[in-house]
Structures are given as structure tokens and as C-alpha cells.
Amino acid sequence: MERWFEFMGNHPVLFGLLAVLIIAFFAIEGKRSGRKVSPNELGLLVNNQNARIIDIRAANKFAAGHITGSQNIPFGELKNRLTELQAIQVPVIIVCDIGMQAGAAVQLINRPNFMRLAGGIQGYQAAGLPLVGAKKK
């Protein structure tokens, strides 16, 4: 660790360049994956702007528990339905298990009205919001 501080002191330009590249990487990755919507914001978008929710998890996971009013289109089927999805004009929130695959789906569809649910279904449940069809423990 001591050598790291010595390097920073001896090469401030290199260290500054490294910092700028790291910040740029995270900024670009965040934009590529689409805008994140919090579980609370999801309800507002659905109620105020008639947003649609598309769950891209496998059919068995969807059946085990999903957000009220969501439509299931497994991730593997998205390419076959791209034209249909890109024609949607209202806001669309893509949902997956933890939010990572939804980012890839938003990138694939490549429309500004498509967003992903931050934290996915797990984040939604962690916020204390209920799922339809979920078995109570």
C-alpha cells in the first residue's frame, strides 16, 4: 500500500488519467444499460404514464411470483419480438432477477422509453412490495 502512495506522488498525471478512465467507464456503462427505475418509481410510472412492465425471466420463475400487470417475455425470445417491442410508445420497465440481464435487454431493444428495474425482482421484494403468485412462507 505504501508503494501505491509513492507511485501516486511520483506520477500524478498517470494517476489522474487512471481516475478519469475509471469514471468514464462507469458513466458509459451506466448509460449503455439504460436508465434505472426504483421499485417506488415503478408504481408512479405505471399509474401516471401507463407504463408497461415486461418480465424477462424464465416462465417458471415468472409463475412463481411476478409484479402485478407484468407480461412475461423470456430473454431468449426478445430478438424474435424486437419489432413489436420497439413499436411501444409508452414507458416500458424491463424486469429480471437482479437487474443485470434487464440492462442487456434494454441495450438490445435500444429505445429511449425502455428502462430497467433497479435490483430486479429481488430489489422489488427487498423494498417490501408484494408479488402476484408468490407462495407465502
Residue 15's alpha-carbon distances to 2, 7, 24, 26, 109, in angstroms, are 15, 8, 14, 17, 37
Predicted confidence band at 30 (pLDDT cuts at 50, 70, 90)?
A: low
C-alpha cell at 93: 420497465
CB 102 within 8 A of CB 122: no
Average pLDDT, the chain: 88
pLDDT digits (tens, 9 = 90+) for 63-115: 999 999 999 999 999 999 999 999 999 999 999 998 889 988 998 998 999 99
Residue 19, number of CB atoms within 10 A of its CB? 11
Per-residue pLDDT at 81: 93
